[in-house]
Amino acid sequence: MSIHPSAVIAPGARIPDSCTVGPFCTIGSEVVLGEGCNLISHVVLDGHTRIGARNTFYPFCSVGVAPQDLKYKGEPTETELGDDNTIRECVTVSRGTVGGGGITRLGSNNLLMAYAHVGHDSLIGSHCILANSATLAGHVTLEDYVTLGAFCPVHQHCVVGAHAFIGGGTIVTQDVLPFSLTSARRENKAFGINKIGLQRRGFSSERLQTLQRAFRVLLASKMNTSQAMEKLRGLEGEDVALLVRFLERSERGVIK
């Protein structure tokens, strides 16, 4: 184990020998680290926090800290990270609250760029990117392969669907359609499918064509959302079925 002499590690913290803890890091007594994690310097890990393998934490990030919620009174809530995440400089990840499910969770292979914030009780899937200063208020859900542009705030209880790309500076106050390219050029709109991102992930031309037909029904027709959903149910493909299920369970409405 490589632990710098200036690091402060509370009794009870569990740190495998394969981890590296750099200068001036602080690790709380209830933190559990997986194999091969690297804390570069000035990292704060606190609370009931479970972290998987091979995560890298850059200077001045804080993970598992108390939520920015005036109702929080020190209850033993949790934070959980999967494997192979990169947490860049000055990122903050708050632990959960009793009223919001009690846990903030990140999956695996995520990149949180400098100054990103993950609020209490937020749930992030895997392979997501939060660009610089992207901000998740409490209770936000990001499904897998979401890219959130720089300076994007996401309102409480919003859900961002899988494979969505949100342009920088977009204020998200409603759910974001899976597979969509959503941006605020003049006003918040979904501009179709995230074609480049989907191609990079191996989507075939047939899958892309099916999704484009589905998005034309949803975004370019004169149908309301309920009518469009009925039309979508007639299209084949698991991607379209996922899109319909997302619409069915949306509680805040979707950005169209």
Catalytic center residues: 120-121, 138
- Residues 6+ positions from 200 with CB-CB distance below 8 Å: none
CA distance 76 to 88: 26
Specify whether the CB–CB gap between 94 and 104 falls below 8 A: yes
CA distance 54 to 43: 15
**Closest by Cα among 204, 176, 178, 206 to 193:** 178
- Would strands 188-193 and 180-184 be described as parallel, antiparallel, or unpaired? antiparallel
Amino acid identity of residue 12, one-letter, is G
Residue 229 class from Cβ within 10 Å (0-12 exposed, 13-18 middle, 19+ buried)?
A: middle
Specify whether the CB–CB gap between 116 and 140 falls below 8 A: no
